[in-house]
Structure formats: C-alpha cells, structure tokens
Amino acid sequence: MKRVALRPADTRLLGTQRTRLDAPVTFDVVHLARHGQTLWNQEGRKQGQLDSPLTADGHRHAVGLARLAYALGVDLVATSPIGRALATARISAESLGLEVEVVQELAEVHHGEMAGLTTAEANRRFPGALDQRAMDNYLWRFPGGESYADADDRAAVALDRIALTGARRPLIVSHEMIGRMLLRNLLGSRPADVLTTRQPHHLVYRVEPSSGLVVQLIAQPV
C-alpha cells in the first residue's frame, strides 16, 4: 500500500487487481456518488479514463456532496483515481477529516479510441459501432477499450478492497458507467436491471446491501 501526502486531504492508494479478494461485503450502507460536472460533460464528449476539469457547477456539486456526506455520517471516502473524481472526493474527505482512499478499480469504463469524441464524431469515425452497442450493451466493447462486463469485474474487486478497510458507511465517488456496475454488485441484480439507470452529478444512491433498499438522495449544489 502506497501512502501519498496530499492536501487538503491525505490520499491513500489501494492497488489494481481483477481477482476477487477474500473480503465479504459487510457494509451497513454504501453511498454511490458521481464526480462533479466537467468541461467535457458540458461539451458532450466521452471521457472514459481521460480527464477534464470540473466546471464551476462541478465544484458546487462537490461542495454539496461534502455537506451531504457529513450529514450522513460517512466513515470512509473512496474514489476513482481519475482527476475529476479525485477532486470531488477530496472536498468530502476534508469536511469529514478523513483520508481519501484511491481505488484503482473504480476508474471509469475505458472508452478506447472513442474517448474525447462527441457521439456525432464517434458515429463518423466508427460507423455502426454504437448501433451494435445498443444490441448488447453489457458485452459490447469500446474500440480499443472496455465493455461493461470488464468493468463489472473491476467493480466487484473495488467493493472487496473497500470492505477490507473495515468501513461500514463508505462514500464511493466514481463515474456513471462504473457506478452502474457497483450498484449491480451491491444488489446482486442482473446487468439489464441497472444499465439504463442515470446518475446526474447531484444524485447519490444510498444502498443497503442487506435489504436491497436503494434511496436516491440529492446533494444540493452550493
């Protein structure tokens, strides 16, 4: 485990792995959050594992999330290593006096050669590819990138890794696509049950794994 000093909150790096860890998920409740809005979100560009800075609204989303996390009694802040998620998570961690746990497996689905493109640009460069995706969204793979099935494996390992910290009420800051796979793993649901879920930047899913209860919370932008 590598520890990196980072202000305003310390950051601890939890490594990369695709094999399930020996860690039963024993959370009382898990809070699944998405990073704040970015410039590429505004422009309609596919980000994947590329990065784009938070907008002013994105920063307000992050501050609103921090206030909600404080009210919810979050005991750990875990995040994707990608800058937009890390920047969002740091604000919550600082408000709670916690370290940021960087979990590599929480990175967004890799968009391969489509990263940085708008949908129109992707359709021009890869004719018919997005139509094929609509036929099997779970197994379809971005050209040179990942599928939901790939990310599903990573999501399971990420939850195992977070469980090993002993946290009972973690906040997990990630991305919309990997977030769907986190939700699937926590609920034990079919991929088809979560692939159409949407998560605006201000929406937090509060999940109770033992009961399967999911509540949508609003992190009011500040």
Selecting among 35, 59, 175, 202, the annotated active-site residue is 35
HSE-CB at 196 with a 13 A cutoff on CA atoms is 4
Catalytic-residue membership of 35: yes
CA separation for the pair 37, 221 (Å, rounded): 11
Strand-pairing partners, residue 207, are 30, 214
* Angstrom distance (rounded) from CA 39 to CA 166: 35
Which run of H or of E encompasses 66?
helix 56-72
- Point out the catalytic residue in the list 101, 105, 108, 146: 108
Note every long-range contact of 16-20, with CB atoms under 8 Å and residues 24 or more positions apart, other chains counting: 16/104, 16/105, 17/105, 17/157, 17/161, 18/105, 18/153, 18/154, 18/157, 19/157, 20/156, 20/157, 20/160
Catalytic-residue membership of 108: yes
Residue 123, φ and ψ in degrees, nearest 5 = -65, -35
Residue with token string 């399967």:
212
Catalogue the active-site residues. Answer: 35, 108
